[in-house]
Amino acid sequence: MSQTVDRALSILPLLAEGPADLGQVADRIGVHKSTALRLLRTLHEHGLVYRQSDQRYRLGARLIALAQEAMENLDIREIAHPHLVRLNEQCGHTVHLAVLEDDEVLYIDKVESRYPVRMYSRIGKPVAITVAAVAKLLLADLPETERRVRAEKLEYPLYTARSTPNALAFLRELDKVRDQGWATDLGGHEESINCVAAPIRGADGRVTAAMSVSAPNVVVTADELLTLLPLVRRTADAVSGEYSGRTPVPAPDRNTSDRNASDRNTSDQNPPDRNAPDRKAPDRNSPDRDTE
C-alpha cells in the first residue's frame, strides 16, 4: 500500500510542471500504463488531478484549493516565535517579526532585549516604513511597478540626518536590498538605534515576513551589530523552511557561541562599513525608547 501511495504522490510534481499524457506519467513513475491509469483515476476521483479533453492530465482544482487553505491557516508568528526566542538568547538584543498589511508594515512579534535600555516598540504598531530594515525587505520584494507607486505615495520624514530623503533614494535602497537579500537601518529612525534584518519566504519564494535584531549604540556599535547578520539570516532561513514546508533548516542551537564568533570574523557577506555613529548615551526623553 505504501508503494501505491508513493507512486500516486509522485505523479503530482510531474503534473505541476504542466499537463502530461498517460504514457508520460507511466514513464516518469516507472510503471505500466495500466497501473498509471488506475492511479490517475483514483486521484481524479478525489479532485487532485483533472483529465482534459485532449486526454492529458493536469492538477485538479481540489488540490489547489487545499494548498491555498493550508497556506491561509499557517500562522507565521506561531512558527517563527521559537526561532526568535532562540536568536534572542544567543545575541541578547531585541528581535522583531514584521509583515506587510495594506499600506503599513506592522510588528507582529517581539522578544525583548536582556539589556536595561530597551526599544519602545509594540506588537501591532506600524514601523517607520521609509527607514525600517524590515519594511525595506517587504517592499523590495514587490513587483517593480508596485514598488514605484508605493514609493511615490509615501512621505519622507527626516527623523535623523540618515533618514531616506525622497522616493528616488528609497527606490535605490530597495533595489540594493532586493539584490543583496538583507537590510539595515543604521541610525535612520533614531541616531542611537541600529538594526539588521533578513527575509522570511513562503513556498513560492516571495517574502512573507521579515525579522530583525536591533540594539542601541550604548550596548553594541553598528559595526558589531552587522557581525550578527549571518546568524540572523540563518535563523530567517530556518523559519522559511518550516513555514514553506520544505525540509526545515536547523535553527542555530544554544551552544554555538564559538562558531558564531568565527562567523562574525569571516562573514561571506562582508557588509560595508556604514560609518557607524559614535557610542553615546541614549536620549532618555525620546518618545521612542523605554528604559528600565
Q: Of 34-38, 150-154, 269-273, which gets the smallest average pLDDT?
A: 269-273
- Tell me, rounded to whole angstroms, the distance of Cα 31 from its chain centroid: 40
DSSP per-residue string spanning 132-161 = -HHHHHHHHTS-HHHHHHHHHH-----SST
Q: What is the mean pLDDT of the chain?
A: 84
Under 8 Å between Cβ of 225 and 98: no
Under 8 Å between Cβ of 148 and 174: no
Sequence-distant (6+) residues with CB within 8 A of 94 are 88, 110, 111, 112, 113, 118, 119, 121, 213, 214, 215
* Coil vs helix vs strand at 76: helix
| pLDDT above 80 for 92 | yes
Q: How many CA atoms lie within 13 A of 137 on its CB side?
A: 30
Instruction: Read off the pLDDT of each residue in 260-285 and give the average, rounded to a whole number.
Output: 43
Phi, psi of 126 (to 5 degrees): -65, 150
- Winning range, highest mean pLDDT, from 13-22, 158-167, 250-259: 158-167
Sequence-distant (6+) residues with CB within 8 A of 65 are none
- Tell me, rounded to whole angstroms, the distance of Cα 131 from its chain centroid: 18
Report the distance separating Cα 144 and Cα 57, nearest Å: 35
Cell 522578544 sits on residue: 111
pLDDT tens digits, one per residue of 204-217: 899 999 999 999 99
Torsion of CA 257, 262, 266, 269, to 10 degrees: -10
Burial call 179-195: b when 16+ CB within 10 Å, e when fewer: eeebbbbbbbbbbbbbb
| pLDDT above 90 for 262 | no
